[in-house]
């Protein structure tokens, strides 16, 4: 983990971004495409996040939902949760925002190369997963079969709906969706995402599982993956903590002796399984 710490950029520098596209995705989530002024090459890894600020209001960590394979701008999907996120939702195209980052350790792309992948996303967890899945699909020949399990409360809260159909049509990609509460038009599964795991056709020795979702989801998903004989280091997850600085100074994001903003948010289960504050 030390090696990674050195590679992480630490910066208080605030860049000026402009909202170039804004789209309502669900009742609570809005999509923002952002361009940075005077930054020609904004490099990031899937799974990293930025600190976004609205002048006079504050700052919050938000995962980058786009893939670094798509150049020129980057994308965020933001749930209206409180002060900063509400102020962000009130902005429109052409409005400025502050951006620091990218921060944190993203998904271990090198390790995932050549492997089959099982993505498990719940609720807002589908936002950072979208970055990784888009990256993998843009570099399709470098990865094996993909199983994508996505869960959310209702059909209306499912994110990236238009793209899910395109993903399903790609060779070697299986997408399974589930909701807690269905409506008359819903054609997917109903119930917790854990119910889908036993039916996944994969060889755990050749597969990495990547999980992102609400805190309650991890324990039960991990139990199912362990039953399927996934090794601890083949289970990769992204943890969310309250963050202030994003650069390992304030301690808000600490999980035991780990700084989630720098050593995470992405960890393997092997790295955190003995840390009682992690899950």
- Both tokens of 138, joined, read 């843009």
- Both tokens of 254, joined, read 């600490």
Least separation in angstroms between residue 235's CB and ligand FAD is 19
Cβ nearer to ligand FES, comparing 127 with 239: 239
Cβ nearer to ligand FES, comparing 81 with 161: 81
How long a stretch of residues is the chain?
279
**51 bridge partner residues:** 61, 100
Q: Which of 243, 255, 266, 272 binds ligand FES (CB under 6 A)?
A: 243
Q: Taken in order 53, 54, 55, 58, is the CA torsion positive or negative?
A: negative
Least separation in angstroms between residue 34's CB and ligand FES is 21
Q: Which does 60 bind (CB under 5 to 8 A by kind): ligand FES, ligand FAD, none?
A: ligand FAD
Q: In the chain, at which residue ranges do the beta strands (DSSP E only) sit?
A: 15-24, 29-36, 49-54, 58-63, 74-79, 96-103, 116-122, 146-152, 173-179, 189-190, 207-212, 235-238, 254-255, 258-259, 266-268
Cβ nearer to ligand FAD, comparing 83 with 139: 83
Site residues, ligand FAD (CB under 6 A): 49, 58, 60-63, 77-79, 81-85, 124, 127, 240-243, 265
Cβ nearer to ligand FES, comparing 12 with 220: 12
Structural contact between residues 151 and 164, judged by C-beta atoms closer than 8 angstroms: no
Q: Which of 99, 112, 211, 261 binds ligand FES (CB under 6 A)?
A: 261
- Both tokens of 15, joined, read 């860049």
Cβ nearer to ligand FES, comparing 219 with 249: 249
Tell me if 250 contacts ligand FES by CB under 6 A. Answer: yes
- Both tokens of 116, joined, read 């089959």
Q: Which does 251 bind (CB under 5 to 8 A by kind): ligand FAD, ligand FES, none?
A: ligand FES
For the purposes of burial, counting CB atoms within 10 Å of the CB of 257, is it exposed (0-12), middle (13-18) or buried (19 or more)?
Answer: exposed
Cβ nearer to ligand FAD, comparing 174 with 279: 279
Q: Is 27 left (phi over 0), alpha (psi -120 to 50) or beta?
A: alpha
Give the Cα separation of 17 and 8 in Å (integer). Answer: 21
Tell me if 253 contacts ligand FES by CB under 6 A. Answer: yes
Tell me if 245 contacts ligand FES by CB under 6 A. Answer: yes
Nearest residue to ligand FES, using CB?
261
Q: Which does 84 bind (CB under 5 to 8 A by kind): ligand FES, ligand FAD, none?
A: ligand FAD
**Which residues would be at the binding site for ligand FES (CB under 6 A)?**
243-246, 248-253, 259, 261
């Amino acid at each position: 983990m030390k090696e990674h710490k050195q590679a992480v950029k630490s910066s208080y520098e605030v860049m000026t971004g402009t909202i170039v596209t804004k789209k309502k995705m669900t009742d609570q989530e809005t999509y923002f495409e952002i361009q940075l002024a005077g930054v020609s090459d904004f490099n990031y890894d899937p799974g990293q996040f930025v600190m976004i600020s609205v002048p006079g209001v504050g700052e919050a960590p938000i995962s980058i939902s786009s893939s670094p394979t798509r150049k020129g701008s980057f994308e965020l999907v933001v749930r209206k949760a409180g002060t900063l996120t509400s102020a962000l939702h009130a902005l429109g195209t052409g409005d400025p925002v502050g951006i620091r980052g990218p921060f944190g350790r993203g998904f271990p792309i090198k390790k995932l190369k050549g492997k089959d992948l099982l993505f498990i996303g719940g609720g807002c967890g589908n936002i950072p997963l979208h970055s990784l899945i888009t990256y993998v699909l843009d570099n399709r020949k470098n990865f094996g079969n993909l199983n994508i399990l996505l869960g959310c409360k209702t059909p209306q809260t499912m994110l990236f709906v238009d793209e899910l159909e395109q993903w399903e049509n790609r060779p070697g990609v299986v997408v399974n969706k589930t909701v807690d509460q269905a409506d008359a038009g819903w054609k997917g599964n109903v119930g917790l995402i854990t119910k889908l795991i036993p039916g996944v056709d994969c060889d755990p020795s050749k597969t990495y599982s990547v999980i992102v979702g609400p805190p309650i989801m991890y324990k039960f998903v991990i139990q199912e993956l362990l039953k399927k004989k996934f090794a601890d280091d083949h289970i990769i997850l992204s943890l969310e903590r309250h963050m202030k600085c994003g650069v390992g100074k304030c301690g808000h994001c600490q999980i035991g002796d780990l700084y989630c903003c720098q050593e995470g948010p992405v960890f393997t289960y092997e790295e955190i399984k003995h840390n009682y504050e992690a899950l």
